[in-house]
Amino acid sequence: MKCPECGAEIDNNEVFCTACGAEIINNVSEGSEKKPEKTQKKTSLFKKKKESSVETADDKKKKLKLVGIITLAVIVIIIAIIVAVNVAASIKANEGRKLLEKVPLGRDIEIIEADTETDFDDTSAYGSVEHIADFDYICESKDSIAVGGINVPEWAIVLKKAPNNAIYEAALLNFNAIEHNWMGEKTALAIDLAVVEFGTSIKKAERTLGLKPYTIIKKSSDNTSVYVYRYHYVDDETENTVVKNLFVTVDDTEGEVVDASDATVDYMKLILGTE
């Protein structure tokens, strides 16, 4: 380096000029001033990185919160849709049940149509119903469903007439009850008939059973109605699926349950039979 006073060449580490004796202080002061400058730059850069890191963490929290809100909203919407579908199905099923309750037995078809404000036909719009039900007159829901791949109405009211043309029997075929599974509701075990309390109302009995009637049959001969519920379970010993129809008889005069019985549906013959 050169001496700032005389311009003589001197060693970089010299404190005094060897030529003129001047004190060399510029390098030391400049070096000491630059070091803090570099440190300050590094410190500033670290702060920026730290601030950037904090902002990213906040962003992640906001994103997670947003995802949580969206997920909760989707769950609420799904639950609302399921409830709405079940309510709609229940309302449709009740349409047929309410119509059945309006049918006055012991009257001819003209009076029944006038009292219920409903038109009855003598044939079904579905070949499947013609095959499974014996009737003289029928009224079917507007909408249809598929049960086990077979197209049927959601519900149907079928009537039978006596030789004097008076209607002596009316039945509701509630296909809604077996729409998801033709074997009916699944239970853990066979239903103990003792749970059906005699003398109680059919509504209370249904709450105890937790089942919807697949068929309701009204008879004028003894003023009774038979409610049929279908369910299935897996037998612990055989590990076979057992399908049962449970019959609850109600005295329509008193509105009380008077009997309960069940019968096994031999569907294995249908599936495994050779005829």
DSSP assignments along 94-109, one per residue: HHHHHHHHH--TTS-H
The span from the CA of 40 to the CA of 189, in Å, is 79
For the chain, count helices (H), then strands (E).
5, 10
Domain range annotation of the chain: 79-272
User: pLDDT value at position 91?
Assistant: 55
Report the DSSP beta bridge partners of residue 225: 218, 250
User: pLDDT value at position 233?
Assistant: 96
| Annotation: CATH topology of 79-272 | Nuclear Transport Factor 2; Chain: A, (3.10.450)
**pLDDT under 50 in the chain at which residues?**
27-35, 83-85, 87
CA 241 to chain centre: 25
User: pLDDT value at position 60?
Assistant: 75
User: pLDDT value at position 10?
Assistant: 75
pLDDT digits (tens, 9 = 90+) for 141-167: 999 999 989 999 999 999 999 999 999
User: pLDDT value at position 84?
Assistant: 47
- Residue 217: partners with Cβ closer than 8 Å, 6 or more residues away: 169, 170, 171, 225, 226, 228
Residue corresponding to tokens 């001047």:
22
